[in-house]
Structure 1
Amino acid sequence: LGAALGHFNYVVPPAYRGPAVVTVHDLSFESDPKLMGRRDRLVFRTFVPRSARRAERVLAVSERTKRDLVEHYLIPEERIVVTPNGVDPIFQPNGSAPSGPPYALFVGGIQPRKDPVTAIEALARVDGDLRLVLVGDEKRGGDELRSAIRQLGLERRVELAGYVEHEGLASLYRGAACLVFPSRYEGFGLPVLEAMASGTPVVATTAGAVPEVAGGAAVLVEPGDPEALAEGMRKALGDRERLVAAGLERARRFTWEKTARRTLEVYRELL
């Protein structure tokens, strides 16, 4: 097309010959290959390093992803610009919310990297009527998840909601007792900020960029530990007022306007 500059997500098309910017969200396929299927891992490990090395600038969504790019691909730091994600204004504390028994909320694809099974195992350790609503497309691990639900006898306490549109998701965030985010690796962790912006306490892991994004406004536990996650849920429920206030303040720092402005600055540097 003769573009003056091309901006791509993860991979610069091999046939493209012009100046390029590439955004990289995370390098989970390098840090823990087991978290991605073999075919996808092969594609990402072949094309992402080539794209990052040939691009004039690499946009990383977090400082953690920037460090990973330097460590794994030896990209010079001066060619990497951190452009954090923003929070959609639809996620805010005022608005409709579901009624009924209290529930914790899981948001993310049903796959090993997001580790919904640990969320199920943690729920089994939390006494009371607390339910768990899981929102996200089923990718890999659905059978394992359903097996865990059956084995723990949690059929009445767990709801697999599948994909939910933004308006419905915003409502679910507002009504949740807490967000449970047991991810094993994140280049950013947008649900953490979406929940905070909605006035919902967050329990998350220390995986990847999550501590960077949460900024001390969430309860953080080690990944893959259902007992620690259950204890984190109890802490979040017991310290709700403080976590809500801290989360709202933290989420205000992340806007798509700031992301767009920084991205535009990169374009101007290159044109």
Structure 2
Amino acid sequence: MRKPVLTIFYQFNPWNTTIGGIQTLIKNFIKYAPSNFEVRLVGTTSSFAPLTPTGGDRNQVIGKWQEAELAGRVINFLPLFALENDNVRHFVPTTLKYTTALLGRCFASDFMHFHRLEPTLAALKWRGEKTLFVHNDIRTQMQAGGDKKAILWRRFPTAYFALEKFLLGQFNQILSCNTEAIELYQQHYPKIAERVAYIKNSFDDKIFYPLSREEREASRWELASRLGLAKDTRFVLFAGRLHPQKDPILLVRAFAALNIANAHLLLAGDGELATELRAEIHRLGLSNQATMLGAVAQTEIAQLHRISHVFVLSSAYEGLPLVALEALASGTPVVTTRCGETPKLLTTNTGVVCEQHTPKCIADSLRKVLLHPENYPTEFCIRAAQPYAASTVVNEVYSQMWQRWEQQNQLAFV
């Protein structure tokens, strides 16, 4: 029996230092794919990012399948076009470019995973099992305050929901990590309600894990020394795209209100708000208390999680952000605004939920954790994250896919 083929569709190059939970989840699905599946990825390339090949040309050729290795797994990769920096929003939305590049092609497979709705316009006639992963509650996303340019569909909500209604019927599964999104889809689309289900977001438990107390303290002192900071510095970590969704401007204002002399804010990420964020840090007089690290590789992010005193999310809307799971898995408590699934995940022993989306409320919450770390034991944080380990979650998804594949093949021979 031939191997079933899974094709994953998303607008990124997995060999680049790219920011985002979707990209991380896709990498988990590649890394933990069992050997009885063939995995393909339709993505993008850039002029400076060679493959790690198992043979053949070292350059990524646009529009052609090429065999390559990612996280120890051989996959087939096809880049649709060149995208120099997928961490920054472009004048022409990348999703639009990606969708346009798919039109007129056929990448039908046994299984197809989509992480954006718009590209599935090209897949309407493709045969095979299609799954749509929904990462945010789109209605909350549409209603969020701030720059309407952050999400182009906010300008045309009626058009988006008409497109959604038109496209959703093609999917065998609609999986979301956000329970509110599931409820809304089931209510608005009762004909396909049984196809909508919950899926746990998953972190890579081979990369995100805690240090011993001694190792953690030693690594903290090493980082403090490298940054020219005091030995007793308390690190507050933000990791994510510098985008209005994550509201990093609110975060630095909250940090200014925190007013703890030995606290230091680490900002790992890149995006369209980088220049504005840098200016705000300067305006607030935080240049010596905040460090912008830029886009950081996953292994470096893992080490930052392990040595930080608290991880913070200041988002306007979320699904279940992987960075929150990664922080907890590293033994680090989380402070979050009340959005997405993170507040449902946290307990009084693992973090604090901000009831108001204000600098003062976030600052007060950070202060609770920084001044009383004994209230947020490492073991409680780790325990909260354990059910979301990719080695378990992703394997369960593939196991279910394999069962459906076998059933289909048995029926074909009846």
TM-score normalised by L of structure 2 = 0.59
Of 106-115 and 58-67, deviating more is 58-67
Do the aligned partners of 1:98 and 1:172 also contact (CA within 8 Å) in 2?
Answer: no
Question: What residue in structure 2 maps to residue 116 of structure 1?
Answer: 248
Question: What residue in structure 1 maps to residue 132 of structure 2?
Answer: 22
Code of the residue aligned with 1:57 in structure 2: it is: Q
CA separation of 1:219 and 1:8: change in aligned 2, threshold 3 A:
same
Question: What residue in structure 2 maps to residue 158 of structure 1?
Answer: 290
Aligned length: 270
Greater RCO (Cα-Cα under 8 Å, separation 6 or more): 1
User: Which structure would you say has the larger Rg?
Assistant: 2
The partner residue of 1:59 within 168, 175, 179 is 175
RMSD (Å), alpha carbons: 2.7
Of 64-73 and 31-40, deviating more is 31-40
Structure 1: which 5+ residue stretches go unaligned?
none
Deviation at 1:45, TM superposition (A): 2.8
Question: What residue in structure 2 maps to residue 248 of structure 1?
Answer: 382
Code of the residue aligned with 2:113 in structure 1: it is: H
Do the aligned partners of 2:239 and 2:269 also contact (CA within 8 Å) in 1?
Answer: yes
Deviation by residue 1:120-158 (Cα, 9 ceiling, x = unmatched): 11111222121101011213x233322321221111111
Do the aligned partners of 2:150 and 2:244 also contact (CA within 8 Å) in 1?
Answer: no
Question: What residue in structure 1 maps to residue 355 of structure 2?
Answer: 222
Code of the residue aligned with 1:93 in structure 2: it is: P
Match of 1:14, SS state, is helix
Question: What residue in structure 2 maps to residue 93 of structure 1?
Answer: 210
Of 29-38 and 40-49, deviating more is 40-49
Runs of 4 or more above 6 Å deviation: none
Do the aligned partners of 1:6 and 1:20 also contact (CA within 8 Å) in 2?
Answer: yes
Of 5-14 and 231-240, deviating more is 5-14
Distance of 2:173 and 2:290 partners within structure 1: 44
**Does residue 1:9 correspond to 2:112, yes or no?**
no
Deviation at 1:53, TM superposition (A): 3.1
Deviation at 1:72, TM superposition (A): 5.6
Of 52-61 and 196-205, deviating more is 52-61
Do the aligned partners of 2:144 and 2:316 also contact (CA within 8 Å) in 1?
Answer: no
Code of the residue aligned with 1:264 in structure 2: it is: Y
The partner residue of 1:169 within 298, 301, 312 is 301
Of 252-261 and 94-103, deviating more is 94-103
Structure 2: which 5+ residue stretches go unaligned?
1-106, 225-232, 409-414
Do the aligned partners of 1:188 and 1:213 also contact (CA within 8 Å) in 2?
Answer: no
Distance of 2:245 and 2:276 partners within structure 1: 13
Deviation at 1:13, TM superposition (A): 4.5
Question: What residue in structure 2 maps to residue 137 of structure 1?
Answer: 270
Match of 1:252, SS state, is helix
